[in-house]
Chain A
């Protein structure tokens, strides 16, 4: 039985309170980090642990930390990305609502490691309970001396505050998040320069997903070797998988990276609801290409999913049964991307709208010959030509759907209805 790391406190009564967190070993890693490690040593520990970003891209956290300039004269910032909005994903909300101090401890250690005296939480505007939990947790952390001046008697000081977003998926992209924090429209910036060089108010900024930061206290407490021993050599540690769709038990399952998709669906989530046949799985949130039942033994890790033609993304597993119309699925996902396109660059802004028009037409029984070809052409015209990764994200479900279920698209054109019931 795998020992839960990130969600170990989540089922405790009042798990969100600082007292529960401390009673279960909380803030010991912070004390250890401040007393026993220099910032450079901490960066080495996180690098050795192999921790990779959990927001979707999987960038090595230690390398991200090491990119921050070492000059103590340079003002630096840390941002906590709680702008969870990828369809299928609900892990960050759970972590913030159930165990916010675990994240705060990670933020303080990361800020100490990169030498940032100021950190910001950017939270999705819709997460009202999350906002309240963040504020209460930060207040309590100040009261206990974990935040503020001279933390735990050390020379390190850190201020942390909450900034509420206002409804824009794109603000989960790190440079768009920074724009939004600055009080602007959340439109991504050109990279390079990367935030580690030019970030918030032009200063070096470290932006991390909530789940990534939640791993940090455990790495400090139990060591890089222990952490690297979980998962696969290239995808270390545990991951929170969010399972939704046609399974018996939907929800959150924390498992070591590299766990086969089959185990997540059939053991953890109890298998297919109503014993229906499995048709397709989106393994890592709406932006990741679909997998088929033949790929069920794919280990859920960054490198293995990439080899399978998909991505780990946020680890949001959306399971679809035999009765699902794949054109309808594509249409729903495209409604999301068309609505959330920030409008900055034409391929994404206009392309998602054009794709949505075709998909609505197909689903509405008004598909014309040539529509499917045109959909594919638009999708290929967007891929790799947008300002930020959102364009690629929007075409992933379309291109993978067309590859796997082309006959269903053609069926819509020919018979003006879905191939499934």
Chain B
């Protein structure tokens, strides 16, 4: 009893590199541009639509450009219970002048809400690109934004 896919895909190990390939392409191009997706598809012998289907399924892949820093505020229950989630999103929204899902005009920050970041014991949590910030407060948000802006003066 072999799943159908196995009989049709020539090299299953090659296909399994797709998630990794998309990460690499995303890092090189900044986000998954049409060209990036086409290159991944051609390297892995897959239809372009198939690669897009993957990119849209997994939330860490982006097919639209983002700011230099993506601020992901966890809106999970454990963050909400200790005064995170909405309050932090509202605060960041006001400070940056953007709503969740938007990018600042200078291209520095994108604000997003995300589901549980597995920091429930140290909530509220905010993830900035690949770094996790725990036990967040408004003051710590201020400091963080200042530090990140400082890199681009």
B60 touches A167 (CB 8 A): yes
A166 touches B23 (CB 8 A): yes
Q: Which of A100-132 contact B (CB under 8 A)?
A: 124-129
A286 touches B77 (CB 8 A): yes
B6 touches A87 (CB 8 A): no
- Bound CA span A202–B118, Å: 31
A201 touches B6 (CB 8 A): yes
Given contacts A126-B127, A244-B121, contact A166 B58 (CB under 8 A): yes
List, in ascending order, chain B residues with CB within 8 A of A126's CB.
Answer: 60, 114, 117-118, 127
A168 touches B81 (CB 8 A): no
B115 touches A93 (CB 8 A): no
Given contacts A168-B57, A183-B16, contact A332 B116 (CB under 8 A): no
Quick check: is B22 within 8 A (CB to CB) of the other chain? yes
Among A87, A183, A250, A320, chain B packs the most CB atoms within 10 A around the CB of: A183
Quick check: is B153 within 8 A (CB to CB) of the other chain? no
CB nearest neighbor in B for A193: B1
B23 touches A164 (CB 8 A): yes
- Bound CA span A275–B19, Å: 47
- Bound CA span A340–B19, Å: 18
Number of interface residues of B (CB under 8 A): 45
- Bound CA span A180–B61, Å: 14
CB nearest neighbor in B for A128: B130
Given contacts A185-B54, A193-B1, contact A316 B115 (CB under 8 A): no
Write the B122-135 contact mask toward A (1 if CB under 8 angstroms, else 0). 11000100111000
Shortest 3 CB-CB contacts between residues of A and residues of B: A167-B59, A166-B58, A183-B18
Report A's interface with B, CB cutoff 8 A: 84-90, 92-93, 124-129, 163-169, 180-186, 189, 193, 197-198, 201-202, 242-246, 250-252, 282, 286, 316, 318, 320, 324, 328-329, 332-333, 335-336, 339-340, 342
Report B's interface with A, CB cutoff 8 A: 1-3, 5-6, 12-13, 15-20, 22-23, 44, 53-54, 57-61, 75-78, 80-82, 85, 114-123, 127, 130-132
Q: A88-B120, A165-B19, A182-B12 are in contact. List 6 more A-B contacts (CB 8 A).
A: A90-B122, A166-B58, A168-B58, A182-B15, A198-B1, A318-B77
A-B contact pairs, 27 of them (CB 8 A): A85-B116, A87-B78, A90-B118, A90-B119, A90-B122, A126-B60, A126-B117, A127-B118, A163-B16, A165-B19, A166-B23, A166-B58, A183-B15, A183-B18, A184-B15, A201-B6, A202-B6, A243-B121, A244-B121, A246-B82, A282-B77, A316-B120, A329-B77, A332-B75, A332-B80, A336-B77, A336-B116
